[in-house]
Amino acid sequence: MAAKRTVHYVCSECGHSEVKWAGRCPSCGTWNTMQEFRESNARAAAPSRIAPSRAAAARTAPVPHPAAQSLHELEAGEGLRFSTGHPEFDRVLGGGLIHGSTVLLGGEPGIGKSTLMLQTAALVDCRVLYVAGEESPRQIKNRADRLGLGDRQLRLSSETTLHELLDVLDAEQPELVVIDSIQTLWDEDTGSPPGAPTQLRRCAYAVSEWCRLHEATAVFIAHVTKEGTIAGPKILEHMVDAVLYFEQSEHELRFLRIPKNRFGTTDEIGLFSMGADGLTSVSDPTGLFFVQRSDPLPAGITTTPVYEGSRVLMVEIQALTVPAAGGSSRTYSDRIDPRRVSRIAAVLEKHLGLRFSDQDIYINVAGGIRISEVAVDLAIAVALYSARTGVPCPANTTCTGEVSLAGEVRPVIHLTKRLTAAKDLGITTCVGPAAARRGEQVDQSYQRVATLGQAIQMLLKK
């Protein structure tokens, strides 16, 4: 008897399912994303496939219902961590990977996701299964030899069918499973192509449940869209314990960010250098983005200490203003939110009388690092003023502070650490908010300003 197949429509953006087609997704509101899928009802039950031994025992003996546990009787899971072999990778994760957890790693094509996980698989001290759905085992072998990892004990599999992969997992019993990539894994009982929202949900759930039952760690490598977000339904990010994004600067630097982490902080950032031997952790990035100049600074350039996770990075903010073509001004900034740049330009125009409404504004961060903290507001304002007037900032001077809509310079966190990092790089003067937070200690090199006008007057003599 032929298996009965049902038709439903799934949104390619959020994974919402409907029995009828709609031009607009009722869940996320996007247009023309509802795709037709035909799914067979004659499927094996997922729990029995994921844990066959438990299902077989259920046919011969009654399974007791799980009892609730008291919170204080449970053991903490910090002792279950193991190192990835990369200090920066461990820093971002909060100390390393955790047994029984699932991690989702996304990034642009060719940025080094597979290289990072291949090095990690070769460096960890546990049984590893690397599932290569996009490359053949011979290609993986050639890359491992090029990276100097050819002599490591690493098990490879090119199986992309879900049921066959679960059989491989049962046979190998790995402690770390790397799926490269999750978009290539598919279930033949699901009437949709690999990479479809239904396939992603089903395959990620099955592998995650196997890893939780066997106290193994799973790392899913995922494709990204042109906007830089992980491709597929958003529910995939909700299913995993940690979500990692791999970013690239204009040079060989790579940045690893973690917007979701159930076992640690989301404030840390990992820095890697890509070379002939693969990815190498950058242990001391304090002065990595800081340029020492013997000549005076050009107009439109300022330096500022940026607090990322538990470290301070000295970065260079570059600004450029040119007359707007057609009378309509625009803001170009891909490393700092353009809306923040437009807001700071409006504050300068309102309180200092410097016109930006007829100017195109360009903002860049040297080194290509993306900055989101508010402590760079004062540096952006000074760089814009310097670029608009042509007056350069003095050498060996930095500034930090949040700028309010009223033109005030507000306090920032970790001021003492910022000043220490600036001194270590030879900076003699730091301009910042007059009001410091409790416990912050400053010395004579710190110049206090209460308003944006005072900061401009002190730095640019205007």
Which of 396, 438, 395, 397 lies closest to 415 in space, CA to CA? 438
Whether the CB-CB separation of 160 and 186 falls below 8 Å is answered with yes
Beta bridge partners of 397: 429
Residue 114 annotated as binding?
Answer: yes
Residue 112 annotated as binding?
Answer: yes
Residue 109 annotated as binding?
Answer: yes
Residue 310 annotated as binding?
Answer: no
Residue 110 annotated as binding?
Answer: yes
Residue 113 annotated as binding?
Answer: yes
Beta bridge partners of 98: 81
Residue 108 annotated as binding?
Answer: yes
Tokens of 310: 């538990």
Beta bridge partners of 177: 129, 218
Burial class of residue 60 in the structure, from the number of CB atoms within 10 Å of its CB (0-12 exposed, 13-18 middle, 19+ buried):
exposed
Which of 37, 38, 36 lies closest to 22 in space, CA to CA? 36
Residue 158 annotated as binding?
Answer: no
Q: Give the residue ranges of the annotated binding site.
A: 107-114
Residues placed in the known binding site for ATP: 107-114
